[in-house]
Amino acid sequence: MKKKIFAFTLAEVLITLAIIGVVAAITIPNVIKNYQKHVYATRLKKDYNIITNSLNKAMADDGVDDFFNTEFGKAITENSQDDIETNMNKYFKNFVMLNDSDGYNYSSKAFANRPDYRSNVNINWCSGNVCFDLPDATFYIKRSGGNLLVYVDTNGFKQKPNQAGKDFFSFYLDKNLKPVGSFGFYHGTDHNHNICHSHAYERGCFFNVMNNGWEIKYY
């Protein structure tokens, strides 16, 4: 007596494949998106630690608790290029100094990815600022009145998306390094604290990530 062999029909196989395809189409983009957010947040934490450790070492070497009273801080505020590079060599490894001619031009839309923001023009962020590349990040230190703003592109200028709140964030430096968007500090109003979302200024995003355990949760 022959045994019956049970098998799927062609229709059942096609239906199963269709279901798998639909589930994959729904889940895979979210998996990729969550992985990218994890990478951005991990790199931001690493870059924050790099620059924090460098600034703290400069303060320890000079015996002060205010970065602006260090030789490094004075070099930046006075725009003394020779002294800046001397101190860069002391406190950073494997860096490359950048200047206006290196073509590190960001679209204004990258800094505030909002349809109501100003016209989409290119901005050379090495113009008048201290700019340098590390192996996998680009830093910009911008003089702002008597303070400094530190911007970081966590995967470097040459890697996209070059967009606020994704791979582009800002810190605020008065005596020490602080997240832009934290209350009581630069742009630390409730408006800017909560402004970070999928179409965000870079202000507030760094504080948002740090405050959420180094996770990006706003998009």
Confidence of residue 188 (pLDDT cuts 50, 70, 90): very low
Residue 188, φ and ψ in degrees, nearest 5: -90, 35
The per-residue pLDDT of the chain, averaged, comes to 79
* pTM score of the predicted model: 0.79
CA distance 17 to 85: 60
CA distance 218 to 197: 5
Q: What three-state secondary structure class fits 23?
A: helix
Closest to 132 measured CA to CA, from 91, 160, 74: 91
- First-to-last CA distance in the chain? 63
